Amino acid sequence: MSVIYVLLTISVCVAIVFFAAFILSVKKGQYDDAYTPSVRILFEDELVEESNNENNQKSSQTN
């Protein structure tokens, strides 16, 4: 049953990793502005879109 020491160590380590990730995210300012990123992610890059369209047209021509 001394495996319980190993298991506990692992579980605590995993918990500490998540804890550290949280602290790091606060430090990097992820919680300063919780709103704008949710809008930003919906913006499409129009230039990329155009080239995609061209690619699509090309590929449809070859097909």
Partner 1 sequence: MDTCYHCGDSCLGTPVVFEEKKFCCEGCHAVYEIFQVHGLEAYYQREGSPGFSSVSASGKFDFLELPEIQEQLLEFDEGGVQLVELHISNIHCSSCIWLLENLHRLHPSIRNSQVDFPRKKVRITFDKEALSLKQLAELLARIGYPPTITLEDYQDKKVASDKGLYYKLGVAGFAFGNVMLLSFPEYFETQEFWLDQYKTFFRWLMFAFSLPVVFYAAQDYFIAAYNGLKSRYLNIDVPIALGIVTLFLRSTFDIVFDLGSGFFDSLTGLVFFLLVGRYFQQKTYAFLSFERDYKSYFPISVTRIGAEAGEEIVEIHKIKAGDRLLIRNQEIIAVDAILKSGKANIDYSFVTGESALVEKAAGDRVYAGGKQIGGVLEVEALKSVSQSYLTQLWSHSAFKHNKSTSFQSFTDAIGKRFTLVVLTIATLSAAFWLYFDSSQALNVFTAVLIIACPCAIALAAPFTLGNILRIFGRFGFYVKDSDTIERMAAVDTLVFDKTGTLTQTRGNQIHYEGEAVSGQQEILLSNTLRASNHPLSRELYALLKEHQIQTLDEIVEEPGRGISGTLEGATIKVGSATFVGHPDEDSAATAVHIAAGNNYKGRYVFQSSFRKGVSRLFKKLKKRYALVVLSGDKPSEKSRLQRLFPFEVPMFFNQKPEDKLEYVRTAQQHSRLMMIGDGLNDAGALAQSDVGVAITEDINVFTPACDAILSAENLSQLDKFLSLSRAARSIIHASFILSFCYNSIGLYFAVTGQLKPVIAAILMPLSSISIVVFTTLMVWATSRRLRFETKAATTEKPKTQGAAKPEYCSLNSIPQ
User: Which residues contact partner 1 (rule: CB under 8 A)?
Assistant: 1, 4-5, 8, 11-12, 15, 18-19, 22-23, 26-27, 31-36, 39-40, 42-43, 46-47
Residue that the structure tokens 């949710």 belong to: 38
Minimum CB distance to partner 1, residue 59 (Å): 24
Task: Give every CB contact of residue 31 below 8 A, 6+ residues apart in sequence.
Answer: 25
**Closer residue to partner 1 in complex, CB, 40/63:** 40
DSSP three-state, residue 31: coil
Whole-number minimum distance, CB 32 to partner 1, in Å?
6
| Residues whose CB is less than 8 angstroms from the CB of residue 25 and which lie 6 or more positions away in sequence, other chains included | 31
